[in-house]
Amino acid sequence: MVKHENFKTCDQSGFCKRNRLYADNAEVSSWTSPYELDPRTITFKNGELSGIILKSIEKRSEKVRLPITISFLESGTARVTVDEEKRQKGDIVLRHDSKARKERYNEAGAWALVGGLAPSAGAALSGEAKQGTTSVKYGPAGTFEAVIGHAPFRIEFKRDGVTQIQLNERGLLNMEHWRPKVDKAAAPEAKEGEALPAPAPPKDENEVDESTWWEESFGGNTDTKPRGPESIGLDISFPGYDHVYGIPEHASSLSLKTTRGGDGNYKEPYRLYNSDVFEYELDSPMTLYGAIPFMQAHRKDSTVGVFWLNAAETWVDIVKSKTAANKLSLGIAGTSSTQTHWISESGLIDVFVFLGPTPKDVVHSYGELTGYTQLPQEFAIAHHQCRWNYVTDEDVIDVNKKFNKHNIPMDVLWLDIEYTEYKKYFTWDPLTFDDPENMHKQVAKSGRKMVTIIDPHIKIADGYHVVEELKKKQFGVKNKDGDIYEGHCWPGQSHWVDAFNPLTINWWKGLFQYANFKGTGPNTFIWNDMNEPSVFNGPETTMPKDNLHHGNWEHRDVHNLNGMTFHNATYQALLSRSKAEEKSPRRPFVLTRAFYSGSQRSSAMWTGDNLAEWPALAASIPMVLNQGISGYPFAGADVGGFFGNPSKELLTRWYQAGAFYPFFRAHAHIDTRRREPYLAGDPYMGIITDALRLRYALLPTWYTAFHEASVTGAPIVRPNFYVHPEDEAGFAIDDQMYLADTGLLTKPVVTEGAESVDIYLGDDKVYYDYFDYSIYKGKGSHTIKAPLDKITLLMQEGHIFPRRDRQRRSSALMKFDPYTLVVVLGPDGKGQGELYIDDGESFDYESGAYIHRKFIFENGILRSEDIGKKGKLTGQYVKKMDAVRVERVIVVGGPGEWKGKSKVKVSREGKEVKNVEMKFVEGKSGKGSEVVVRDPNCKIGEGWSISFV
Catalytically annotated residues = 529, 532, 609
Closest to 637 in 3D by CA, of 246, 374, 249: 249
Identify which range of 339-347, 391-399, 516-524, 794-802 contacts another protein by CB under 8 A.
391-399
Residue 160, phi-psi category: left (phi > 0), alpha (psi -120 to 50), beta (remainder): left
Pick the closer one to another protein by CB: 401 or 777. 401
Pick the closer one to another protein by CB: 327 or 673. 673
Beta bridge partners of 639: 666
Candidate list 815, 830, 908, 927; residue touching another protein; CB under 8 A: 815
Strand duo 43-45 + 48-57: pairing: antiparallel
Is there binding between residue 405 and another protein (CB under 8 A)? yes
Pick the closer one to another protein by CB: 154 or 457. 457
Candidate list 431, 583, 682, 912; residue touching another protein; CB under 8 A: 431
Q: Residue 66 CB, nearest distance to another protein (Å)?
A: 38
Is there binding between residue 468 and another protein (CB under 8 A)? no
Question: Alpha-carbon distance 183 to 181, whole Å?
Answer: 7
Looking at residue 115, the DSSP 8-state letter turns out to be: S
Q: Residue 808 CB, nearest distance to another protein (Å)?
A: 5
Pick the closer one to another protein by CB: 534 or 600. 534
Candidate list 674, 870, 872, 903; residue touching another protein; CB under 8 A: 674
CA dihedral 258, 264, 269, 274 (to 10 degrees): -120
Candidate list 9, 358, 807, 847; residue touching another protein; CB under 8 A: 807
**Beta carbons within 8 Å of 348's beta carbon, 6+ residues apart:** 81, 82, 83, 104, 105, 106, 108, 232, 309, 310
Is there binding between residue 842 and another protein (CB under 8 A)? no
Is there binding between residue 400 and another protein (CB under 8 A)? no
Question: Alpha-carbon distance 422 to 418, whole Å?
Answer: 8
Q: Residue 430 CB, nearest distance to another protein (Å)?
A: 9
Pick the closer one to another protein by CB: 72 or 773. 773
Q: Residue 454 CB, nearest distance to another protein (Å)?
A: 21
Question: Alpha-carbon distance 263 to 269, whole Å?
Answer: 15
Identify which range of 12-20, 54-62, 232-240, 669-677 contacts another protein by CB under 8 A.
669-677
Is there binding between residue 218 and another protein (CB under 8 A)? no
Candidate list 215, 468, 613, 935; residue touching another protein; CB under 8 A: 935
Pick the closer one to another protein by CB: 45 or 673. 673
Pick the closer one to another protein by CB: 85 or 817. 817
Helix (H) or strand (E) holding 337, with range, is: strand 335-344
Candidate list 401, 777, 854, 880; residue touching another protein; CB under 8 A: 401
Pick the closer one to another protein by CB: 406 or 854. 406
Identify which range of 390-398, 457-465, 648-656, 792-800 contacts another protein by CB under 8 A.
390-398
Pick the closer one to another protein by CB: 620 or 672. 672
Is there binding between residue 903 and another protein (CB under 8 A)? no
Helix (H) or strand (E) holding 507, with range, is: helix 502-511
Looking at residue 436, the DSSP 8-state letter turns out to be: H
- Number of Cβ atoms within 10 Å of the Cβ of 187: 9
Q: Residue 668 CB, nearest distance to another protein (Å)?
A: 10
Pick the closer one to another protein by CB: 328 or 431. 431
At residue 80, φ and ψ (nearest 5 deg) are: -115, 120
Q: For residues 114 and 120, is the Cβ–Cβ distance under 8 A?
A: no
Is there binding between residue 274 and another protein (CB under 8 A)? no
Identify which range of 190-198, 204-212, 816-824, 851-859 contacts another protein by CB under 8 A.
816-824
Site for another protein in 17-46 (CB under 8 A): none
Q: Residue 3 CB, nearest distance to another protein (Å)?
A: 6
Planar angle of CA 633, 634, 636, nearest 5 degrees: 105
Site for another protein in 524-553 (CB under 8 A): 536-537, 541
Is there binding between residue 3 and another protein (CB under 8 A)? yes
Is there binding between residue 445 and another protein (CB under 8 A)? yes
Candidate list 470, 814, 886, 940; residue touching another protein; CB under 8 A: 814
Is there binding between residue 880 and another protein (CB under 8 A)? no
Is there binding between residue 219 and another protein (CB under 8 A)? yes
Per DSSP, the three-state class of 744 is strand
Q: Residue 683 CB, nearest distance to another protein (Å)?
A: 12
Question: Alpha-carbon distance 427 to 439, whole Å?
Answer: 15
Candidate list 74, 763, 934, 947; residue touching another protein; CB under 8 A: 934
Closest to 400 in 3D by CA, of 451, 442, 452: 442
Pick the closer one to another protein by CB: 313 or 735. 313
The secondary structure of 454-479, three-state, reads: CCCEEECCCCCHHHHHHHHCCCECEC
Pick the closer one to another protein by CB: 118 or 883. 883
**Beta carbons within 8 Å of 790's beta carbon, 6+ residues apart:** 771, 784
Q: Residue 820 CB, nearest distance to another protein (Å)?
A: 9
- Alpha-carbon distances of 891 from 55, 353, 895, rounded to whole Å: 67, 44, 10
Pick the closer one to another protein by CB: 38 or 817. 817
Closest to 499 in 3D by CA, of 542, 541, 562: 562
Question: Alpha-carbon distance 233 to 15, whole Å?
Answer: 9
Identify which range of 24-32, 266-274, 334-342, 799-807 contacts another protein by CB under 8 A.
799-807
Question: Alpha-carbon distance 308 to 354, whole Å?
Answer: 11
Burial 321-341 (b: 16+ CB within 10 A, else e): eeeeeeeeeeeeeeebbbbbb
Q: For residues 314 and 272, is the Cβ–Cβ distance under 8 A?
A: yes
Is there binding between residue 6 and another protein (CB under 8 A)? yes
Question: Alpha-carbon distance 56 to 78, whole Å?
Answer: 27
How many chain residues are in contact with another protein, going by CB under 8 A? 48
Is there binding between residue 890 and another protein (CB under 8 A)? no
- Number of Cβ atoms within 10 Å of the Cβ of 429: 18
Per DSSP, the three-state class of 45 is strand
The side-by-side arrangement of strands in the sheet containing 664-666 is 635-636, 604-606, 590-592, 524-528, 449-453, 412-415, 383-385, 664-666
Is there binding between residue 782 and another protein (CB under 8 A)? no
Identify which range of 714-722, 740-748, 751-759, 809-817 contacts another protein by CB under 8 A.
809-817
Identify which range of 402-410, 557-565, 587-595, 869-877 contacts another protein by CB under 8 A.
402-410
Q: Residue 656 CB, nearest distance to another protein (Å)?
A: 17
Candidate list 407, 552, 578, 915; residue touching another protein; CB under 8 A: 407
Question: Alpha-carbon distance 118 to 106, whole Å?
Answer: 19
Q: Residue 752 CB, nearest distance to another protein (Å)?
A: 23
**Full DSSP string of 371-384:** -PPP---GGGGSEE
Is there binding between residue 793 and another protein (CB under 8 A)? no
The secondary structure of 669-717, three-state, reads: CCCCCCCCHHHCCCCHHHHHHHHHHHHHHCHHHHHHHHHHHHHHCCCCE
Q: Residues interacting with another protein, by CB under 8 A? A: 3, 5-6, 219, 391-392, 394-395, 398, 401, 404-405, 407, 429, 431-432, 445-447, 487-488, 492, 536-537, 541, 670-674, 693, 697, 805-809, 812-818, 887-888, 934-935
